[in-house]
Structure 1
Amino acid sequence: MDGKQYVTEVLDKVKKRNAGEKEFIDAITEVLNSLVPVFDKNPKFIENGLLERIVEPERQIMFRVPWIDDKGNVQVNRGFRIQFNSAIGPYKGGLRFHPSVNASIIKFLGFEQIFKNSLTGLPIGGGKGGSDFDPKGKSDGEIMRFCQSFMAELCKHIGSDIDVPAGDIGVGGREIGYMYGYYKKLTGLNTQGVLTGKGLTYGGSLGRTEATGYGLVYFTEEMLKDNGESFSGKTVVISGSGNVAIYATEKATELGAKVVALSDSNGYVYDENGIDLDVVKEIKEVKRGRIKEYLNYVKNATYVEGCRNIWNVKCDIALPCATQGEINKEDAEKLVKNGVICVSEGANMPTTLEGIDLLLENKVMFGPAKAANAGGVACSALEMSQNSMRLSWSKEEVDEKLKTIMKNIYLNASLAAKEYGKQGNIVVGANISGFLKVADAMMAQGIV
């Protein structure tokens, strides 16, 4: 059996077994199709049933999360934790609180996390979790009660050497704090390494807040350099206005770019003079407001309803940092028409498969999420290291380690693409580079 036949057979099984789970099937399809040359070169992986095992989570946990709102009404949400692959270390991946969360989305995120974590070079396996709880519009008391109820079940399944969750969409320092406090109360353990993204006063790492956004820009800068370009003098559009988008804006601006647009789920703001990041931080990090409030501070800016419309804005570099599936084929066509030279993903799988294909066909540099946005989980793993050693590194130390990790991710993905006849295709290169480390570990550990 050759690689193409093997991949096709496994994909057919995945589609049949996970019918209706579009996000998960798309993620599996994108990765597996790029691995065909790996199986042609390494038939031992076929004989070992490697793909059949790697596409199936080691453990799936779904649970009820009851909590009481401020009016005294009982609310019930669903909680999820997918412990996908532990071949190279404890499960590691964020928790997402958003109404869109379901089994398919958590499985796709967990699957992607396997290879993202592998690419960092650090000993962490792949996992993901979350809930369909929506923190928007909730009081601090409601969020605390939800987080405590969520942790009451999650605590049974996690640990610093088992599974180490972090934050994601809807889960920041506040939520991590509430969950960690309740974990301590329930278990009686002061095990700081059980969660990452913690506050600096109780085991958090300097530089963690900035890590995903900074890492995205560090990775993208390496890709640009490899193609004779840089951020200097470039116009950049960044979707989202949360943690990743804010710090990607900060670092891109520091490198000489002009970021002209940011968005949230309602719409986007355009500022031809360059986004005033202090204003965005005030709106989003202090007031927890909407991006349209930017116009209250900056008179010459404009606001447009509909977050997808942000891809109409002309730019040299696009950094999608909002959510999955936000750039489809039509959006990609708009970007190409407007002269984009580089698209690099700060969110998890924000570009559809059709969108990726179109960008690559038009010779647009493309940084896939599992490589480009690995800075967050890399810094989470650095937080775990500091917790294990009972030490705290300086922000400069953490940032230097992060920069080195992101440079190595790009280099390894680029080399893998070249070795397997796909030079310049970082999507394929990242998949192969991330896969090989996990595959070798799984082979060494037997059929488990």
Structure 2
Amino acid sequence: MSITNEYLKGVYDGLVQRNPEQKEFLQAAEEVLESLEPVIAAHPEYEKAGLIERMVEPERVVMFRVPWVDDNGKVQVNRGYRVQFNSAIGPYKGGLRFHPSVNLSIIKFLGFEQCFKNSLTGLPMGGGKGGADFDPHGKSDGEVMRFCQSFMTELYRHIGPDTDVPAGDIGVGGREVGYLFGQYKRIRNEFTGVLTGKGIPFGGSLARTEATGYGLCYFADEMLKANGKSFQGAKVVISGSGNVAIYANQKATQLGGKVIAMSDSNGYIVDENGIDYKVMQEIKEVKRARIKTYLDYVPTAKYVEGSQGIWTVACDIALPCATQNELPLEGAKALVANGCYAVAEGANMPSTPEAIAYLQANNVLFAPAKASNAGGVATSGLEMSQNSLRLGWTFEEVDQRLHDIMVNIYKNAAAAAEEYGCKGNLVAGANIAGFLKIASAMMSQGIV
């Protein structure tokens, strides 16, 4: 990748100078800035207003210690974060990630991406992200509860239903959101829609669990149809086996595809007869076991150690749903060599820049994460709406609204790409479409 516009290059060079160690954030910023070159050329007023300089700097970064006591009575200390990136179009909105790899660079990259993703949904949500370097795996419910309560005891003063509305992400599921919400309610003495991904009995939305995986397939389906293709009869490879991957499997199968491979951090399974998402649910959500356990259910399946090899499995459609930078150039080359014609990202920034460039150069249909995995936050926005209205919609109502949002995201990204001279490039189109709404709001609100 290379930014040629002098103004944008200057902004990016300044970012590198100030944040040399933040490689994930710099990667995300470079991709967006490169996409915006035709927009900046058409709108010189953005440079005069220092719009890009303001957009790449978070409005607020909060970093704090999280002390808690484990089951052995030993005091543990983790580091917590909340990056409130941009509130031009609504309150900050974005998940909390609990994982040992969490650092400021990852949270800033996720928060920056969230701004554009939220803008694309058409809902009034700004961008933010947070988390901690805490690993909930292997911890007891009591340990997770004490950690979440300590985390929220600091975070509560920085969030609110009209200020910042966190949600779940990697390592933060229904259990963690419940503990976080309980502590917020306890401290603030109020019941508000301050978190999304809540349990159904206390303000959660039906279809939220399925939303990211479903939304991914709705977007991919629209992209495929626009290019004379479909899921019908297609072989699908999905990396990961968490929430997004499981429900992407379910929806891809419903749309006529056959999911033949899935993975976790240890390795991957191949089942040419089609992987049953209910079995994956049992393994991952009930037993919390490794994906190799699939062989206990389906002895005819094959297990391969090491998750990277999943991209060598011949398929028509690939859905990377695990983590950032999991699909490298070598994986992209393997997909192309085996005839893959579409890649849609279910995780945040799962493909490296080199992989994306190679896929696009070889005419593979490519759906970028900030568009194709926006279903989760879109449904979180719908949960916020239900909380504000003090009512709940049926699963079918939420699912239909989600489907409509994902179709509109595709149409808007495709239209923006065409308008700015890069027809078919959904990476550029999604960045541009998401940017234009935020830019308009920021210009209207003055230098803030």
Q: Which of the five TM-score ranges fits, normalised by the shorter chain? A: over 0.9
CA RMSD in angstroms, aligned pairs only? 0.9
For 1:201, what is the secondary structure of its paired residue?
A: helix
Inter-partner Cα distance in structure 2 for 1:146 and 1:89: 29
Unaligned runs of 5+ in 1: none
Q: Give SS of 1:164's match.
A: strand
Distance (whole Å) between structure 2 residues aligned to residue 332 and residue 288 of structure 1 = 30
- Judge which range, 303-312 or 102-111, deviates more: 303-312
Counterpart in the other structure of 2:438? 438
Q: What letter matches 2:353 in structure 1?
A: L
Shift of 1:129: 0.3
Deviation of 1:146 (Å)? 0.8
Structure 1 pair 3–118 and aligned structure 2 pair: CA distance change class (3 A) = farther
Corresponding residue for 1:413? 413
Q: Deviations 1:301-350 (Å, cap 9, x if unpaired)? A: 11111111111111100000000000111111111111110000000000
Deviation at 1:3, TM superposition (A): 7.8
1:279-428 equivalent positions in 2, closer than 5 A: 279-428=279-428
Q: Which amino acid aligns with 1:87?
A: A
Residue 238 of structure 1 aligns with which residue? 238
Cα shift at 1:74: 1.1
> Which residue in 1 is equivalent to 2:210?
210
Unaligned 5+ segments in structure 2 are: none
Q: Which amino acid aligns with 2:287?
A: K
**Matched residues in 2 for 1:363 and 1:412: separation?**
21
Amino acid aligned to 2:262: L
- 1:355-392 per-residue CA deviation (whole Å, 9 max, x = no partner) reads 11111111100000000000000000000000000010
Q: Is the 8 A contact 1:3 1:40 kept in 2?
A: no
CA contact (8 A) 1:97 1:169 kept: yes
Amino acid at match of 1:217: C
| Structure 1 position 429 matched with structure 2 position 432 | no
CA distance in 2, matches of 1:267, 1:299: 16
Do structure 1's residue 175 and structure 2's residue 176 form an aligned pair? yes
- What residue number does 1:137 align with? 138
* Of 307-316 and 381-390, the range deviating more from structure 2: 307-316
d(CA) in 2 for partners of 1:9, 1:144 = 45
Q: Deviation string for 1:392-414 (max 9, x for gaps)?
A: 00111100100000000000000
2:247, 2:277 within 8 Å by CA — same for their partners in 1?
no
| Counterpart residue number, 2:99 | 98
**Partner secondary structure for residue 157 of structure 2:** coil
Give 1:71 deviation, angstroms. 1.3
1:62 aligns with 2:63: yes
User: Alpha-carbon deviations, 1:154-193, whole Å to 9, x = none?
Assistant: 11100000000000001110100010011111111111x1
Q: Aligned residue for 2:31?
A: 30
Q: TM-score, with normalisation over the residues of structure 2?
A: 0.99
Question: Shift of the alpha carbon at 1:117?
Answer: 0.2
TM-score, normalised to structure 1, is 0.99
Counting matched residue pairs gives 446
Taking the aligned partners of 2:308 and 2:338, their CA distance within structure 1 comes to 15
Specify the alignment match of 1:16 in structure 2. Answer: 17
How far, CA to CA, are the matches of 1:438 and 1:196 in structure 2? 23
Q: Return the alpha-carbon distance in structure 2 between the equivalents of residues 183 and 287 of structure 1.
A: 30
Q: Measure the CA separation in 1 of the matches of 2:270 and 2:217.
A: 21
Aligned to 1:247: 247
Number of the residue aligned with 1:161: 162
Moved more, 81-90 or 308-317: 308-317
Inter-partner Cα distance in structure 1 for 2:432 and 2:277: 37
